[in-house]
Amino acid sequence: MNRRTGLMWSAAEDPLNADLDELGRMVPEKAAAFYEGLSDMGRARDPLDAAERLLDPIHKRATANARRLRGA
């Protein structure tokens, strides 16, 4: 999260040298994760299960990104 936040700040300060590849992944990735979570909420047994189903795809992508960016 810190790395991507830094990327956004850097892009705002110096757009010509921004990491456009990484920035271009962020919005579609988050939208897809959120949609996936919303779609799965319909199968929830209770409100807590609904929240877990919503957040699970978002969490999976965030942890995968953390692993990927640590290696970069």
| 37-67 pLDDT, tens digit each | 999 999 999 999 999 999 999 999 989 988 8
Task: Round to whole Å and give the CA distance between 4 and 58.
Answer: 15
Tokens linked to 20: 């456009």
| pLDDT, mean of residues 1-28 | 83
pLDDT at 49: 97
Task: Round to whole Å and give the CA distance between 13 and 51.
Answer: 36
| Residue 26 contacts residue 19 (beta carbons within 8 Å) | no
pLDDT at 1: 66
| pLDDT, mean of residues 33-38 | 95
In the numeric block, the tokens 């799965």 are attached to 40
pTM: 0.70
